C-alpha cells in the first residue's frame, strides 16, 4: 500500500519536473509586490512570498532542480563508488589497502561537511553542489560495492567460470558486475531521497541555487525570515522536500524487501 | 536641511524615553544583542567599522558631539577655532577629565591619539581617511591642541565627533595592539571588563564618570551596573530572544519584526537614520555595459523599486531620491531623474545598439547578452533588501537586462568590488557629513586604499565634480558649500550613476522594562549611560 502511495508521489514529482507547465501554467519568477505575503487562498493555494510570487507555482517548478540534483548527485556517487569499490575488491592487496584507507579517511568527515569543503574550494552553484553531494555519498556506496564484489568473486560459480577458461573481462562484466551491483540499485533509490535533502540543505545555506530560482531549499531560506508572520513560505516547500524524500525511502525499502537477496 | 534624528515609531505602548514618568533606578544588568557582528578588535582606531563604533560608544568618547539638529557641540573639547586661512585649528580641552586608568586627558593625549590613528601600523581605514588633511598636532599648552592642516577642512569637527576617532588613554595606546584591542581605555561611562570571543563582551560602570555629552538626560555615572554585549547574527533568532526576554535590547531589526514589536505591549522600537550616504545602487560606469550613459539611464528607468519598498518594508522606510541620508545636511533630491518609464528605457537601449533579443528575451549586441552582474553582501543587505534586488532583476528583465544576483560573504564581496567584477552593487557608507560625497565620488578614490577598498564603486571620473567636491570640503561659507554640494549631486543624478533606495536605518528593538534608551545623534548609535532597567 505505502509503496503505491510512494510511487504516486514520485510520479507526480516526475511530472512536475518534466512538464511543470501542466501542473502550474504560471511563471515561477513573476513578481507582483502588491500581492506579497498573501496567505493560502483561492488563486494562490499555497499563498504568495515576499515579492508576490505564487508559491504553488514555485514549488512545482522547484521539482526539476531538486530531482535533477538528487538523481545526478546519486549517479555521480555510484559511478565513483563503482570504480573505487571494484578496484578495491579486485585490484589486489595493495590497491585494496590504499582504497580502503582512503574511504576510511573520507568516512571520518560527515557527508555534508565534505560537500561544504568542495563548495568552499570551487564556489557555490547548482553544478558544484550536485558534484559535491555526489562526492560526499560515494564512500558509502564504494564500501558496499567492495564487500559485495568480494563475496561474489569468491562464489563457487565464479570459480566455475574461471575453471571453464572465461576471460577476466568477461567474468567481470557477465558474472560479477550484475550480482554485485544490482543490490546497490536498491540503495540508489534510498540515496536519491537523501541527496534531495542534502541539495536542499546546501541551497538553504545559500550554497546551491542562486536567487530568485525556484528551488525548495532556497525557498525555505527566504521563508525562514518570515517564519513568525508567513508560515506558508516555509511550510509548502518543506512539505515537498519531506514528501519526496519519504517517498523515495519507502520505495527503496519496498524494493529492498523484494530484492534478489 | 537637517532632519530629525531619533524618530520613535508611533504607538509604541507609551515607551518614549523622553516622556517616561518613572524615576531612574541605579543598578542592574542590561543584555544587548547585536546583529552587526563581533569586532575583531574593540579599538575603533583599528580598521573602523560599525560593530566597533556600536560597542565603542559606551566606552570611548570624542572631542566633539552633535546635537539633534546636527550642529557641532563640545564634548571632551570645549571649543574649536580655525585660523584665518583655515590651515590650523586651535582646539581647547576640558581640564577635569581622566581616563579610566588614571591618565589625565590633555593636549598630549590628543596628539598621541591622532598619531596612533595615522600610524600605518595601526591599520586604520576610517579614521585615517577622516584625518586625511591633518598634517600634525601641536601641543600649545595642556588644554590647547593645534591641528595643522595641509588644506582647509570644513568637515574637521564632524570628523572628530565620530567614534572611530575617539580619545583613548595614551598609556593604553603604548601597550601592544593586541592588548589594546582586547580592552581599549577611554573616558566613557563604562569600561571593558572581559571579552569572551564568539560569545559576549562584558562592560562595567565607570564610577568616576563626569563627561556626559550634550543632550544626555543626566550627568555623572551611568545607572546600569553592567552591560552584557552579545552577538546573535541571525535576525529571526535575535528577535525571538528579545520576545522571550533573554535579551533586553537588539539592533538590526527586520521590517516585519518592527511591525510586530510596535503592536506588542512588552516591546518598543527606536529608529534613526544613519548619517552619510543613503542605501543605493552604484552602477559601475567604468566598464561595459554601464560605461554607456544610455544603458545606465535605461536601467534606472526600468528598475521599479517603489512597490517593493512598500510591501517588503511594511511602511518602515521611505523611498529616497538623494545620495545622502536624510540625517546628513546638504542632501538634494532629484525625483524626476528616477521616474519609471519602460518605453524610454527600450528606446535608450535601442539607441545604444542593444537592438536584438535572444530566445530568453534578453537583449543582445554583437552576439553578447546584456548581462549585469550584481554581487550582494549578505552581511550588509538584510533579507528584505535582497528580495528587493530580486524584484529589480524581474522589472529590468522586461526591457531586456539579464541581472545576475550573486549573494556573497563580506570578503568575497569586497574581492569582486576590488576587481571591478560587477555591473551594479549596493553599498553603505556611514559618515556624519556631506563630505562623504568626496569619499564616494572623487575620481581619486577609484584607486584602491592600501586595504584594497575603493569607495568610488561607480567609477565616477568627472573633473568638474572633483572640483566641486574639493571646493565644498574647503570652504567655510555655508551658502557656497550648499551650492557646491547641490551641483555635485545634480551631476551624479544627470549622469545616472546612482539609484538611491532609502535611508540606512538604525532599528533598535527593546523591552519596555528598559527605560531611558536613546540614540547619540552623531552616528545614531544607542547611548546606554542614561538607560536603566525596571
Nine cell digits for residue B44: 575603533
Name the residue of chain B whose CA is nearest to A205's CA.
B407
Segment B353-377 mean pLDDT: 94
Name the residue of chain A whose CA is nearest to B382's CA.
A225
Domain boundaries defined on chain A: 64-258
Please tell me the distance from the alpha carbon of residue B49 to that of residue B525, in angstroms, as a whole number: 13
Tell me which of B15 and B156 has the higher pLDDT: B156
Hey, what's the torsion of the CAs at A13, A17, A23, A25, to 10 degrees? 160
| B125 preceded by a cis bond (ω within 30 of 0) | no
In sequence order, the β-bridge partners of residue B532 are: B515
Q: pLDDT, tens digit, for every residue of B106-150? A: 999 999 999 999 998 888 888 988 898 999 999 999 999 999 999
3-class DSSP assignment, residue B245: coil
> If pLDDT is split at 50, 70 and 90, which confidence band does B13 have?
very low
3-class DSSP assignment, residue B514: strand
Please tell me the distance from the alpha carbon of residue A103 to that of residue B313, in angstroms, as a whole number: 50
* CB-CB contact of B391 with B441 (8 Å): no
Segment A206-220 mean pLDDT: 85
| A212 preceded by a cis bond (ω within 30 of 0) | yes
Tell me which of B391, B398, B415, B421 to substitute to probe the interface with A (most A C-beta atoms closer than 10 Å). Answer: B391
Is the CB of B236 less than 8 angstroms away from the CB of A29?
A: no
φ, ψ of residue B38 in degrees (nearest 5): -95, 130
Please tell me the distance from the alpha carbon of residue B505 to that of residue B319, in angstroms, as a whole number: 12
Segment B306-332 mean pLDDT: 91
The secondary structure of B391-441 as a DSSP string is HHHHHHHTTT-EEEEEEE-HHHHHHHHHTT--SEEEE--B-SSTTHHHHHH
Name the residue of chain B whose CA is nearest to A230's CA.
B256
Q: Does B407 touch chain A (CB under 8 A)?
A: yes
Name the residue of chain B whose CA is nearest to A125's CA.
B406
Segment B96-112 mean pLDDT: 96
User: What residues of chain B, 9 to 48, have a C-beta less than 8 Å from chain A?
Assistant: none
Report domain A64-258's class. mainly alpha
Q: Does B256 touch chain A (CB under 8 A)?
A: yes
Q: Are strands B134-141 and B64-66 parallel, antiparallel or unpaired?
A: unpaired
In B148-225, alpha helices (H): 156-161, 170-173, 177-182
> pLDDT exceeding 90 applies to what percent of chain B?
74
How close is the nearest chain A Cα to the Cα of B313, in Å?
10
- B contacts of A51 (beta carbons < 8 Å): 308, 311-312, 387, 390-391, 394
Q: pLDDT, tens digit, for every residue of B201-241? A: 999 999 999 999 998 999 999 999 999 999 998 888 899 99
How close is the nearest chain A Cα to the Cα of B312, in Å?
6
Beta-carbon contacts below 8 Å between A and B = 62
Please tell me the distance from the alpha carbon of residue B6 to that of residue A259, in angstroms, as a whole number: 71
**What average pLDDT is seen over chain B?**
90
Tell me which of A33, A211, A212, A217 to substitute to probe the interface with B (most B C-beta atoms closer than 10 Å). Answer: A33
* CB-CB contact of A195 with A74 (8 Å): yes
Name the residue of chain B whose CA is nearest to A50's CA.
B312
Which domains, from first to last, does chain B contain?
Answer: 7-273+506-533 (3.40.190.10), 279-503 (3.10.105.10)
Tell me which of A58, A124, A202, A211 to substitute to probe the interface with B (most B C-beta atoms closer than 10 Å). Answer: A211
Is the CB of A50 less than 8 angstroms away from the CB of B312?
A: yes
**What HEC string does B109-161 produce?**
HHHHHHHHHHCHHHCECHHHHHCCCEEEEEEEECCEEEEEECCCCCCHHHHHH
Range of weakest confidence among B110-124, B245-259, B401-415: B401-415
Q: pTM of this prediction?
A: 0.82
Q: pLDDT, tens digit, for every residue of A23-81? A: 999 999 999 988 999 999 999 999 999 999 999 999 999 999 888 888 899 999 999 99
Name the residue of chain B whose CA is nearest to A35's CA.
B311
- B contacts of A206 (beta carbons < 8 Å): 378, 407
Q: Cell 563548495 maps to which residue?
A: A119
Is the CB of B391 less than 8 angstroms away from the CB of A211?
A: no
Amino acid at each position: 500500500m505505502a509503496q503505491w502511495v510512494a510511487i504516486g508521489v514520485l510520479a507526480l514529482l516526475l511530472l512536475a519536473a518534466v512538464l511543470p507547465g501542466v501542473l502550474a501554467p504560471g511563471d515561477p519568477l513573476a513578481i507582483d509586490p502588491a500581492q506579497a505575503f498573501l496567505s493560502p487562498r483561492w488563486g494562490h493555494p499555497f499563498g504568495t512570498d515576499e515579492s508576490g510570487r505564487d508559491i504553488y507555482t514555485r514549488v512545482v517548478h522547484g521539482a526539476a532542480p531538486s530531482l535533477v540534483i538528487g538523481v545526478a548527485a546519486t549517479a555521480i556517487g555510484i559511478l565513483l563508488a563503482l570504480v573505487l569499490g571494484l578496484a578495491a575488491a579486485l585490484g589486489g592487496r595493495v590497491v585494496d589497502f590504499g582504497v580502503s584507507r582512503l574511504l576510511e579517511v573520507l568516512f571520518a568527515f560527515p557527508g555534508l561537511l565534505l560537500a561544504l569543503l568542495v563548495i568552499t574550494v570551487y564556489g557555490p552553484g547548482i553544478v558544484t553542489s550536485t558534484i559535491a553531494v555526489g562526492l560526499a555519498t560515494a564512500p558509502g556506496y564504494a564500501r558496499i560495492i567492495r564487500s559485495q564484489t568480494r563475496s561474489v568473486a569468491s562464489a563457487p560459480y565464479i570459480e566455475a567460470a574461471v575453471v571453464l577458461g572465461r576471460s577476466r573481462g568477461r567474468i567481470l562484466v557477465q558474472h560479477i558486475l550484475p550480482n554485485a551491483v544490482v543490490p546497490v540499485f536498491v540503495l540508489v533509490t534510498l540515496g536519491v531521497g537523501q541527496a534531495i535533502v542534502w541539495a536542499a540543505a546546501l541551497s538553504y545555506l545559500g550554497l546551491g541555487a542562486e536567487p530568485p530560482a525556484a528551488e525548495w531549499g532556497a525557498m525555505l531560506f527566504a521563508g525562514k525570515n518570515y517564519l513568525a508572520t508567513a508560515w506558508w513560505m516555509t511550510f509548502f516547500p518543506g512539505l515537498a522536500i519531506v514528501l519526496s524524500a519519504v517517498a523515495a525511502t519507502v520505495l527503496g525499502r519496498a524494493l529492498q524487501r523484494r530484492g534478489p537477496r | 536641511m537637517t532632519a530629525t534624528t531619533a524618530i520613535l515609531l508611533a504607538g509604541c505602548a507609551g515607551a518614549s524615553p523622553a516622556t517616561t514618568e518613572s524615576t531612574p533606578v541605579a543598578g542592574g544588568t542590561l543584555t544587548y544583542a547585536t546583529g552587526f557582528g563581533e569586532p575583531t578588535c574593540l579599538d575603533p582606531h583599528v580598521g573602523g567599522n560599525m560593530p566597533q563604533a556600536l560597542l565603542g560608544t559606551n566606552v570611548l568618547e570624542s572631542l566633539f558631539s552633535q546635537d539633534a539638529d546636527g550642529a557641532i557641540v563640545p564634548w571632551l573639547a570645549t571649543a574649536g577655532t580655525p585660523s584665518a586661512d583655515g590651515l590650523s585649528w586651535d582646539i581647547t580641552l576640558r581640564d577635569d577629565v581622566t581616563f579610566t586608568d588614571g591618565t589625565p586627558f590633555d593636549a598630549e593625549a590628543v596628539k598621541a591619539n591622532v598619531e596612533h590613528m595615522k600610524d600605518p601600523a595601526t591599520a586604520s581605514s576610517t579614521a585615517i581617511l577622516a584625518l586625511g588633511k591633518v598634517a600634525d598636532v601641536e601641543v600649545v599648552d595642556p588644554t590647547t591642541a593645534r591641528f595643522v592642516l595641509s588644506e582647509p577642512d570644513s568637515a574637521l569637527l564632524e570628523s572628530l565627533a565620530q567614534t572611530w576617532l575617539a580619545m583613548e588613554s595614551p598609556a593604553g595606546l603604548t601597550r601592544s595592539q593586541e592588548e589594546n584591542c582586547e580592552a581599549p581605555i577611554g573616558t566613557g561611562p563604562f569600561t571593558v571588563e572581559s571579552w569572551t570571543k564568539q560569545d559576549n563582551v562584558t562592560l562595567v560602570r565607570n564610577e568616576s564618570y563626569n563627561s556626559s555629552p550634550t543632550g544626555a538626560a543626566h550627568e555623572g555615572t551611568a545607572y546600569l551596573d553592567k552591560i552584557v554585549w552579545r552577538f546573535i547574527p541571525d535576525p529571526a533568532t535575535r528577535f525571538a530572544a528579545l520576545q522571550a526576554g533573554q535579551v533586553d535590547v537588539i539592533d538590526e531589526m527586520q521590517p516585519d519584526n518592527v511591525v510586530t514589536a510596535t503592536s506588542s505591549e512588552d516591546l518598543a522600537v527606536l529608529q534613526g537614520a544613519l548619517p552619510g550616504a543613503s542605501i543605493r545602487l552604484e552602477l559601475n560606469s567604468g566598464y561595459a555595459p554601464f560605461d554607456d550613459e544610455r544603458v545606465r539611464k535605461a536601467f534606472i528607468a526600468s528598475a521599479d523599486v517603489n512597490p517593493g519598498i512598500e510591501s517588503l518594508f511594511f511602511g518602515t522606510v521611505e523611498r529616497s531620491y538623494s545620495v545622502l541620508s536624510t540625517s546628513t545636511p546638504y542632501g538634494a533630491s532629484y525625483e524626476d531623474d528616477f521616474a519609471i518609464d519602460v518605453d524610454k528605457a527600450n528606446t535608450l537601449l535601442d539607441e545604444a545598439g542593444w537592438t536584438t533579443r535572444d530566445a530568453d528575451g534578453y537583449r543582445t549586441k554583437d552576439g553578447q547578452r546584456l548581462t549585469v552582474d550584481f554581487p550582494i553582501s549578505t552581511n550588509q543587505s538584510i533579507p528584505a533588501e535582497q528580495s528587493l534586488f530580486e524584484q529589480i532583476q524581474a522589472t529590468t528583465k522586461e526591457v531586456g537586462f539579464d541581472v545576475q544576483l550573486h549573494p556573497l560573504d563580506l570578503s568575497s564581496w569586497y574581492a569582486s568590488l576590488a576587481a571591478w567584477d560587477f555591473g551594479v552593487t549596493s553599498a553603505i557608507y556611514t559618515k556624519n557629513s556631506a563630505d562623504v560625497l568626496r569619499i564616494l565620488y572623487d575620481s581619486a578614490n577609484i584607486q584602491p586604499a592600501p586595504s584594497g577598498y575603493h569607495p568610488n564603486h561607480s567609477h565616477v571620473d568627472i573633473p568638474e565634480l572633483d572640483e566641486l567636491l574639493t571646493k565644498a570640503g574647503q570652504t567655510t561659507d555655508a551658502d557656497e558649500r550648499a551650492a557646491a554640494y547641490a551641483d555635485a549631486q545634480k551631476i551624479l543624478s544627470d549622469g545616472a550613476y546612482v539609484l538611491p533606495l532609502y535611508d540606512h536605518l538604525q532599528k533598535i528593538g527593546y523591552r519596555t522594562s528598559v527605560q531611558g534608551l536613546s540614540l547619540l545623534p552623531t552616528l545614531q548609535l544607542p547611548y546606554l549611560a542614561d538607560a536603566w532597567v525596571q
